Chain A
Amino acid sequence: MEHIAIIGNGISGVTLARHIRKLSDKKITIISAESDYFFSRTALMYVYMGHMTFEHTQPYENWFWKKNSIELKKGYVHKIDTDNKTLHFNEGDTLVYDKLVIASGSKPNKFGWPGQDLNGVQGLYSKQDLENLEIYAPNNKVCKGAVIVGGGLIGIELAEMLNSRNIPVTFLVRESSFWNGVLPEGESQMINRHIKNHHIDLRLSTNLKEIISDHNGKVKSIIIEETGEELPCDFVGLTAGVTPNISFLKDSKIKINRGVLVNRFLETNIKDVYAIGDCAEQHEAIGNRRSIEAVWYTGRMMGETLAQTICDNRMEYKPGHWFNSAKFLDIEYQTYGWVHGKKGKPDYEAHFHWKHDDDTKCITIAYHRDTNQFLGINTFGIRMRHEVFDRWLTEKRDIDYVVEHLEDANFDPEFYKRFENEIKETYNNTLQTN
Chain B
Amino acid sequence: MSLKLNYSMSLGNSYGLTKTQKVASAVGMLGLFILTLALFNVEFPNKTIALTLALSMLFAGVIWFSNSMYLSKSKGIKNDGVYFKSLSSKGLTGWLIGVALTLFYIVLYFYPEYLGLAQKGEENTGLVALFDPLSQLLSGRNASQWFVYGTLYTVAILVFGYKFILKYRHNRYEQIRTISVMFFQLAFAFLIPEFMYVMNSDLPYYDLKNVWPLNYYNFEQYRIKAFINAGNIGLAMLIFGIVSIFVITPILTYKYGKRWYCSWVCGCGALAETAGDSFRQLSDKSKFAWNVERWVIHSVLVFVVLMTTAVIHSYLGNDTSKYWLTKSSFLTGVGVLLTLVFAGTMIFKRKELAKDAKYGAIGYFIVIAVLFAMYFFSKDNTLFVFKSESLRKSYGFLIGSIFSGVIGTGFYPIFGSRVWCRFGCPMAAILGFQQRLFSKFRITTNGGQCISCGNCSTYCEMGIDVRAYAQKGENIVRSSCVGCGICSAVCPRGVLKLENDSMKGRINPNEILLGNDVDLMSLVNENR
Contacts and interface: CB of A to CB of B under 8 A. Distances in A.
Question: Are A and B part of the same complex?
Answer: yes
Interface of A: 11, 19, 22, 40, 42-43, 46-47, 49-59, 61, 130-131, 134, 138-142, 164-167, 197-198, 296-297, 300-301, 304-305, 308, 315-321, 323, 325-327, 329-330, 332, 334, 383-387, 390, 411-417
Contacts of B75: 330
Given A51-B83, A383-B494, A413-B172, A22 B514 contact: no
Contacts of B172: 413-417
Contacts of B524: 304
Contacts of B287: 61
B304 to A, nearest CB: 32
A323 B3 contact: no
B517 interface: yes
A139 B497 contact: no
Interface stretch (B5-13, B152-160, B395-403): B5-13
B513 A297 contact: yes
Contact of B14 (A11, A140, A300, A413): A140
Interface in B70-95: 74-77, 79-85
A325 B7 contact: no
Contacts of B4: 53
A160 to B, nearest CB: 10
10 contacts: A42-B453, A46-B453, A53-B4, A57-B454, A58-B454, A59-B454, A305-B517, A332-B493, A414-B499, A415-B176
A47 B3 contact: yes
B283 to A, nearest CB: 12
B21 interface: no
A326 to B, nearest CB: 8
B457 interface: yes
A195 B516 CA distance: 34
B485 interface: yes
Nearest to B467: A59
Closest 8 CB pairs of A and B: A386-B447, A330-B76, A383-B494, A318-B517, A43-B453, A415-B172, A50-B81, A42-B451
A56 B81 contact: no
A59 B455 CA distance: 11
A416 B173 CA distance: 7
Contacts of B449: 297, 323, 325, 334, 386
Contacts of B444: 411
B3 to A, nearest CB: 5
B492 A165 contact: no
B515 interface: yes
B452 A40 contact: yes
A320 B515 contact: yes
A54 to B, nearest CB: 5
A141 B81 CA distance: 17
A61 B3 contact: no
B514 A56 contact: no
Given A51-B83, A56-B458, A390-B515, A139 B10 contact: yes
B49 interface: no
Contact of B80 (A42, A164, A326): A164
Contact of A387 (B171, B453, B514, B523): B514
B260 to A, nearest CB: 12
Given A141-B10, A386-B447, A412-B497, 8 more contacts: A40-B454, A59-B454, A59-B471, A61-B286, A138-B6, A297-B513, A297-B515, A323-B449
A49 B81 contact: yes
A383 B518 CA distance: 24
B253 interface: no
Nearest to B85: A50
A330 B452 contact: no
A296 to B, nearest CB: 5
A320 B493 CA distance: 19
Contacts of B447: 323, 385-387, 390
Given A329-B76, A383-B446, A413-B488, A134 B3 contact: yes
Interface residues of B, number: 65
A325 B449 CA distance: 7
A301 to B, nearest CB: 4
Nearest to B170: A330
B80 A50 contact: yes
A149 B497 CA distance: 36
B13 A53 contact: no
B385 interface: no
Contact of A296 (B452, B455, B512): B452
Contacts of A54: 1, 3
A285 to B, nearest CB: 17
A305 B13 contact: no
B520 interface: yes
Contacts of A142: 10
A46 B490 CA distance: 11
Nearest to A413: B173
Contacts of A140: 13-14
Contacts of B76: 329-330
Nearest to A360: B75
Given A59-B467, A301-B516, A131 B3 contact: yes
B262 interface: no
A52 B454 contact: yes
A315 B522 CA distance: 14
A165 to B, nearest CB: 4
B112 interface: no
A322 to B, nearest CB: 9
Nearest to B84: A50
B81 to A, nearest CB: 4
A299 to B, nearest CB: 11
Nearest to B517: A318
Contact of A320 (B13, B455, B516, B523): B516
Contacts of A386: 446-449, 514-515
Contacts of B146: none
A82 to B, nearest CB: 28
Nearest to B172: A415
Nearest to B281: A52
Contacts of A305: 516-517, 520
